[in-house]
Amino acid sequence: MVSIIELDQVSRQVWPLSNQKRYMHNQDSHAITSLVPGGSDGYFDRAMARLEAIKPGLSQDLGCSERLSLESARAVVAIAVELACLSQNVANIRIGRFIFRELPARTINEHLRPVVSELVDLEDDYEYTRLLEAIKPVSPANLEHYLRTGRDSSSAEIRDTSKEWSGALGI
């Protein structure tokens, strides 16, 4: 089983959505976890079906999210946030991070903060940490924003997490 800390390294090995097969390499056991349709107990299929419900073909081309309506683009970012930050299941967390990496930076930057304010409890260390992990590889500006937000938190746990991340990243 891959720990949450190692999830970034593991999930970076996912191939682009346009490939026929999608695999992730589990560095703990060197096992390959398939994320092809029907794999991972259907988590991948359910996530892709949610994207397809927004716009047919979206799951194969998240780059087109820039051309979606405001409401639809925000819904795509909400799916990524829900999976990557609110899920307890490692497969869903991986899929959410995968979606984030496939989204254009413009889509993330336009919609992340409003979506996070609606969905993520920034006073909950689990959700806050998953958010930082999810946006670190895709949105440095938003990462810095949420690290500053964490420094001003009323929660000592969140302030500690923000300080730890800031120190590790030299921010």
What pLDDT sits at residue 27? 32
CB 7 within 8 A of CB 133: yes
In order of 10, 32, 43, 104, 138, the CA distances from 111 in angstroms are 26, 33, 24, 11, 13
Structure tokens at 167: 């120190």
What pLDDT sits at residue 167? 87
Instruction: Kindly indicate the confidence band of residue 171, based on its pLDDT and cuts at 50, 70 and 90.
Output: confident
- For the chain, the domain total comes to 1
Boundaries of domain holding 98: 7-169
pLDDT at 64 over 80: yes
Structure tokens at 90: 């490692």
Rounded to an integer, the average pLDDT of 40-46 is 79
What pLDDT sits at residue 101? 93
Measure the CA–CA gap between 128 and 78, rounded to whole angstroms: 15
Kindly state whether residue 1 falls inside one of the protein's structural domains: no
Instruction: Kindly indicate the confidence band of residue 114, based on its pLDDT and cuts at 50, 70 and 90.
Output: very high
Kindly state whether residue 2 falls inside one of the protein's structural domains: no
Sign of CA dihedral 71, 97, 113, 139: negative
Mean pLDDT, the chain, rounded, equals 81
Instruction: Kindly indicate the confidence band of residue 163, based on its pLDDT and cuts at 50, 70 and 90.
Output: very high
pLDDT at 17 over 50: no
Measure the CA–CA gap between 63 and 53, rounded to whole angstroms: 16
